[in-house]
Amino acid sequence: MQTTTVFERLKNGEIILPTDSGAHKMREASFATKKLLVEMNNSSNPDEIRDFLSQITDTEIDVSVTVLTPLYINYGKHTKIGKNVFINFDCVFLDLGGITIEDNVLIAPKVSLLTEGHPTTIENRHSLIPKPIHIKKNAWIGANATILQGVTIGENAVVASGSVVSKDVPHNTIVGGVPAKFLKTI
């Protein structure tokens, strides 16, 4: 008998097989989150948006946080957002593996934070491999950038627009490209 939920096991980085007894709970949770997202994404009131996001993440979203909707999240309870964070329009957060966004982070439009992946072998492809994303203080993620699972973006770092980040980004650097590479030190 398993003593932890599928969500705890995801947060711990365990691979979840499609035959897992808790797999259906991920879909159920995603639809519950979707219900709140529909309401949040139809609001133009910043306080209401923060309230919905607080419900989705099961944490208190600080009044200093600005979210320009729409925002799409598949679960929400594995997302932690610091103070004075700005999230622009049309972002996607797949957070079953865990997303941490520290204080003073800027996230431009159409940014994707993807903590989930799948094995490349055909017979195991429907399994879910979760790995966390951590965006440290004062980072700026440019428009249409994609941050892949297991990546940490360092303090004060900048990710250029359109980049695909598959490796950690050191503090005080700018990266860009597909795949993202070091461009310069700030």
The Cα diameter of the chain in Å comes to 51
Residue 134 annotated among the catalytic residues of the structure: no
Distance, CA of 166 to CA of 114 (rounded, Å)? 10
Helical (H) or strand (E) element with 27: helix 23-41
Q: What is the pLDDT along the chain (186 residues), one digit of tens a residue?
A: 456 899 999 999 999 999 999 999 999 999 999 999 999 999 999 999 999 999 999 999 999 999 999 999 999 999 999 999 999 999 999 999 999 999 999 999 999 999 999 999 999 999 999 999 999 999 999 999 999 999 999 999 999 999 999 999 999 999 999 999 999 999
> Where do the domains of the chain lie, and which CATH numbers do they carry?
6-185 (2.160.10.10)
Q: Which of 24, 118, 126, 134 is catalytic?
A: 118
Radius of gyration of the chain, Cα coordinates, nearest whole angstrom: 16
Distance, CA of 71 to CA of 69 (rounded, Å)? 5
DSSP state letter for 105: -
Q: What 3-state class would DSSP assign to 60?
A: coil
Q: What 3-state class would DSSP assign to 48?
A: helix
State which amino acid sits at residue 72.
Y
